[in-house]
Amino acid sequence: MVMPTLKCKRVRFYSEGDESAFFAFARSITAVKRIEGAGDFILLHVTSRPSQQALSDLKALFARYRISGKQQLAQFTGRR
């Protein structure tokens, strides 16, 4: 099964603590299996069927850090 990858482009952090909070929150989301950097992207490798809670947490992460993600996250809706 292919693991979807969410692309977080040019995430803006306002302090080292803010950056740490981003990664701590991302790692705490059960659907996130791996995080890596590639150029100006942070890549979140996630399960193909995240739980409702994990999807809610991903939406919150994207909203908090102003990551363009509606289209990326749409792939997970309607599969329940």
Identify the pLDDT of residue 1. Answer: 64
List of the chain residues with pLDDT < 50: 79-80
**Structural domains in the chain plus CATH codes:** 5-74 (3.30.70)
For tokens 């990664």, the residue is 23
List phi, psi (to 5°) of 32. -80, 115
Tell me, what's the pLDDT at 21?
A: 98
* φ and ψ at residue 10, rounded to 5 degrees: 45, 55
Please provide the size of the chain in residues. Answer: 80
Nearest residue to 11 (alpha-carbon basis) of 65, 79, 55, 80: 65
Per-residue confidence (pLDDT) for residue 80, from 0 to 100: 42
| Helix or strand run (H / E) with residue 70 | helix 70-74
Check residue 29 and report its DSSP letter: S
